[in-house]
Amino acid sequence: MPLALLPAMKVAVIVNAGAGSVGTDKCEERVREIRAAFAAAEVEAEIVLCEPARLTETARQLAGAGAGKLDAIVAAGGDGTVSGIAAGLVGSEVPLAVLPLGTLNHFARDIAMPSGDLETACRAIRDGKTEAIDVGEVNGHLFINNSSIGLYPEAVMRRDVERKQGGRRKWTAMLLAIARVFKRFPLLSVCLATPERSVVTKTPFVFIGNNEYSTDMRTLGQRTTLDSGHLSLYTVRCRGRWHLLYLLGRALFSRVEAVRSFETASVTEATVMLRRRRLTVALDGEVVRMSSPLRYRIHPGVLRVIRGTPETADAMASDDAEVTSSPDLAPARVVDPASRAASRAGQR
């Protein structure tokens, strides 16, 4: 067969069948859009639908069956979906690609994958370069973005209550949740132990990132590297909500590190100990109940990902302010990984 007739790329696209809630017609329309976008980018794509609880298992099965046949496994969704699929690809030779369909798409932004237009994102996957990145772990749970305790996981739990009981939209529920948690402002008594030192403090949060997050207020929350082999730890010593607001106000005019009450560290491992035995921990935007102590560590270079090219990163500048909501894709045809692999006709 002439090379020109061979598909440029073969991918399996995993879609979270439980993300959100839209009608069947909208689901089918979205699936058609994804297929059409990959076809326009000259990428052969097969969509695999699964329940949220099976994202990791499905990715692991696809990677095993598709080794040498698939060029990538694509996570179509937001950060929670991407994180679940990434966990199943740790240690695999099949790289992770991301089709951003979430609200904020933090991980997609950090690997220069554009959101907002499906065809643009599919072309970015096709033209991207594969690299190995780090993955964080806490008590056996993996994360690709960050983990935290304190204000944020409390707000996420409160948000879910607001959505379930009040029927509010996601962002409205989150704003109400933040206001209520901030009013109560729980302080944690924690001991932070790293290979270099131990600190005992009272804080409203402990934030641990997979690699370093920018603390410059102009680029706050962005990462320039994902392969440093280090976790970044952030916390703050404060007496209450107004003190925290004062400290944040000071940080607006300088880097966070310049405000003495903020603690930052770059480490390969850390232990967070609390008086309470069980606590709620946020992992890539999802919340999990865990037992204290929390033992964090970094796994360098264990996840292969497709990163957008520098040209793609430059083109994303105009899309950064654009918010893309993630529709729920109801079940269509669920592809069994083994039968899908058997039907492949070799590698391109």
- pLDDT tens-place string over residues 205-225: 999 999 999 887 678 789 999
pLDDT at 294 over 90: yes
CATH of the domain at 193: 2.60.200.40
Say if residue 123 is in the same domain as residue 79: yes
Instruction: Tell me the residue ranges of DSSP E strands in 88-187.
Output: 96-100, 129-138, 141-143, 146-150
Say if residue 86 is in the same domain as residue 196: no
Say if residue 335 is in the same domain as residue 292: no
The structure tokens listed for 22 are 């839209």
Look at residue 65 in the predicted model and tell me its pLDDT: 94
- pLDDT tens-place string over residues 329-345: 333 333 444 444 444 44
Domain membership of residue 207 (yes or no) is: yes
Domain membership of residue 136 (yes or no) is: no
**Count of domains for the chain:** 2
Q: Do residues 85 and 15 touch, judged by C-beta distance below 8 A?
A: no
Q: Do residues 270 and 193 touch, judged by C-beta distance below 8 A?
A: yes
Say if residue 167 is in the same domain as residue 238: yes
Domain membership of residue 157 (yes or no) is: yes
What is the chain's mean pLDDT, rounded? Answer: 84
Burial class (CB in 10 A: 0-12, 13-18, 19+), 123: buried
Give the whole-angstrom CA distance, residue 302 versus residue 317.
29
Domain membership of residue 103 (yes or no) is: yes
CATH of the domain at 75: 3.40.50.10330
Look at residue 218 in the predicted model and tell me its pLDDT: 74
Look at residue 174 in the predicted model and tell me its pLDDT: 86
Give the whole-angstrom CA distance, residue 2 versus residue 265.
55
Say if residue 263 is in the same domain as residue 116: no
Say if residue 20 is in the same domain as residue 104: yes
Say if residue 316 is in the same domain as residue 296: no
Q: Do residues 139 and 290 touch, judged by C-beta distance below 8 A?
A: yes
Domain membership of residue 92 (yes or no) is: yes
Domain membership of residue 41 (yes or no) is: yes
Domain membership of residue 135 (yes or no) is: no
Say if residue 220 is in the same domain as residue 155: yes
Length of the chain: 348
Say if residue 16 is in the same domain as residue 42: yes
pLDDT > 70 fraction of the chain, expressed in percent and rounded: 82
Domain membership of residue 133 (yes or no) is: no
Say if residue 172 is in the same domain as residue 110: no
Say if residue 122 is in the same domain as residue 84: yes
Say if residue 323 is in the same domain as residue 211: no
- Whole-structure pTM value: 0.83
Q: Per-residue confidence at 128, pLDDT binned at 50, 70, 90?
A: very high
Q: Out of 120-129, 257-266, 287-296, which region has the weakest mean confidence (pLDDT)?
A: 257-266
Write out the residue range of the structural domain in which residue 22 sits: 3-128+308-343
Q: Which stretch, 215-224, 302-311, 321-330, has highest mean pLDDT?
A: 302-311
Look at residue 50 in the predicted model and tell me its pLDDT: 86
